[in-house]
């Protein structure tokens, strides 16, 4: 008997059935994806996360009718690196984006290399229309523009923050773009970003789309809809702006962003797309000292929980059951998740540090056990399950986040075995990522 003649047809049949199963596991029709990224919004900075002074009914609606994450983390405690991780599905260190790309100085010349695989490139290759509305902050030079990273449409700014009315950045340079062209548009930045997002939805209602809504709010400068512009070339101005009642304006900035979320959801309903669209709402890092990080220790710029534990919400009408999740999620998990849901083909030998969340979102299946890491300036963190190790110039802090989420009790001396385990994990991770000195930004 010729075994090969029997095995070959069986192999073909097996491969065929496997391909069919993979195809059946994809969603049909392909879903739309909207990722809404707030800027410097802390863990406690929404009504549904405990801020009773704020009115955020639209975002609260997404949380109450979707999944509200209680352990969602930005990949970094500052802007640029988290955005690099979101775009690439990897630790930001792999692309050299460990720190902020500043508006002044040498880092203004650097950016996210266009050779990087991005979520927009992958989804575009799968037939998606791709758009980013709002903040980029991954390179000031035109060679790093979003259109070179897989986005078909870009309306917004490339800096870390701009005047909400005049659209000048913190170096006094005008910063408002349509793709590669600097354009003039009158209006409040939050409203402009929302309007372009709504237009993108309506213009692409017949095909699957990926829409990245990268809001400026509630990042400084403090400016409401009716406050005057104050940044102009050749004029001295402060970073935070001239507003005196900063709390009132800060709250307004968050609430206007919430209105924008409502307009985006209205656009989905008007176009009949709400039941075929995954909406994710997250923040790029924790709040500054004037924001609301809940009861968490620390704030933007440091690796205590307040610097990187942020609001995280997943909403999909009819597909995601309302509830709460305590799974530890990272910004870099978004790319693998959208890729799996889209059915896009993954380039050969391509792997991501992030993990696919789709089974957890749809069925509540627990994520596989993993260790996670952060590094920013003089701080390093290793996290495994409930244990967190934070190294800094000042201290070696070991905490059990399940029992001590506020990081008040240092167990480094009491748990030497766990301390060593996390130190070893951190050391191995740093060897893989490379030293700080090799980063483009620090």
Confirm whether 79 is a catalytic residue.
yes
- What strands lie across the sheet with 312-315, from one edge to the other? 181-182, 177-178, 153-157, 129-135, 209-214, 32-38, 277-283, 312-315, 67-69, 323-325
Quote the tokens at residue 271.
């176009």
- Say how far apart CA 103 and CA 105 lie, in whole Å: 7
CB 274 within 8 A of CB 305: no
Confirm whether 178 is a catalytic residue.
no
H/E stretch holding 329: strand 329-330
Given 20, 73, 79, 409, the catalytic residue: 79
Short-list 344, 311, 324, CA closest to 127: 344
Q: For the beta carbon of residue 79, count every other beta carbon within 10 angstroms.
A: 24
Given 137, 165, 167, 308, the catalytic residue: 137
Residue 108 CA neighbour count, 13 Å, CB half:
9
Radius of gyration of the chain, Cα coordinates, nearest whole angstrom: 22
CA 315 to chain centre: 15
- Say how far apart CA 279 and CA 61 lie, in whole Å: 12
Q: 214 φ, ψ to 5°?
A: -105, 90
Q: Which residues pair with 168 in a beta bridge?
A: 174
CA 280 to chain centre: 9
Quote the tokens at residue 52.
């009773």
Distant-in-sequence, close-in-space partners of 301: CB < 8 Å, separation ≥ 6:
77, 78, 307, 376
Q: 206 φ, ψ to 5°?
A: -90, -10
Helical pair 79-88 and 334-342, crossing angle rounded to 10 deg? 30
Any idea which residues carry the catalytic annotation? Answer: 79, 137
């Amino acid at each position: 008997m010729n075994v090969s003649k029997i095995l070959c047809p069986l192999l073909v049949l097996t491969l065929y059935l496997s391909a069919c199963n993979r195809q059946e596991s994809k969603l049909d029709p392909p879903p739309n994806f909207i990722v809404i990224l707030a800027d410097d919004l802390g863990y406690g900075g929404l009504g549904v996360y405990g801020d009773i002074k704020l009115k955020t009914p639209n975002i609260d609606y997404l949380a109450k009718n979707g999944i509200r994450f209680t352990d969602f983390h930005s990949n970094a405690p500052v802007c640029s690196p988290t955005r690099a991780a979101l775009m690439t599905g990897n630790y930001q260190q792999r692309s050299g984006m460990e720190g902020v790309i500043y508006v002044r100085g040498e880092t203004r010349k650097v950016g996210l290399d266009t050779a990087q695989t991005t979520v927009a490139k992958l989804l575009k290759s799968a037939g998606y229309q791709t758009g980013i509305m709002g903040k980029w902050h991954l390179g000031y030079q035109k060679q790093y523009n979003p259109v070179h990273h897989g986005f078909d449409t870009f309306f917004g700014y490339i800096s870390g923050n701009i005047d909400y009315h005049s659209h000048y950045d913190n170096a006094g340079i005008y910063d408002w773009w349509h793709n590669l062209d600097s354009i003039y548009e009158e209006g409040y930045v939050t409203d402009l970003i929302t309007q372009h997002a709504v237009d993108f939805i309506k213009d692409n209602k017949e095909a699957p789309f990926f829409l990245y809504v990268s809001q400026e709010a509630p990042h400084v400068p403090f400016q409401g809809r009716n406050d005057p512009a104050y940044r102009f070339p050749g004029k001295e101005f402060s970073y935070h702006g001239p507003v005196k009642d900063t709390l009132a304006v800060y709250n307004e900035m968050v609430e206007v962003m919430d209105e924008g979320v409502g307009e985006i959801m209205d656009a989905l309903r008007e176009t009949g797309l709400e039941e075929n669209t995954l909406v994710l709402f997250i923040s790029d890092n924790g709040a500054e000292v004037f924001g609301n990080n809940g009861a968490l220790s620390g704030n933007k710029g440091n690796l205590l929980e307040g610097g990187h534990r942020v609001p995280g919400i997943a909403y999909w009408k009819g597909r995601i059951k309302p509830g709460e999740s305590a799974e530890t999620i990272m910004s870099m998990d978004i790319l693998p998740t959208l890729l799996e849901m889209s059915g896009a083909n993954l380039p050969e030998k391509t792997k991501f540090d992030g993990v696919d969340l789709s089974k957890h979102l749809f069925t509540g299946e627990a994520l596989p056990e993993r260790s996670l890491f952060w590094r920013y300036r003089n701080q390093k963190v290793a996290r495994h399950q409930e244990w967190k190790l934070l190294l800094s110039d000042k201290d070696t802090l070991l905490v059990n986040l399940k029992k001590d989420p506020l990081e008040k009790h240092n167990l480094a001396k009491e748990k030497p075995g766990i301390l060593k385990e996390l130190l070893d994990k951190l050391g191995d991770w740093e060897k893989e990522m490379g030293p700080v000195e090799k980063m483009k930004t620090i």
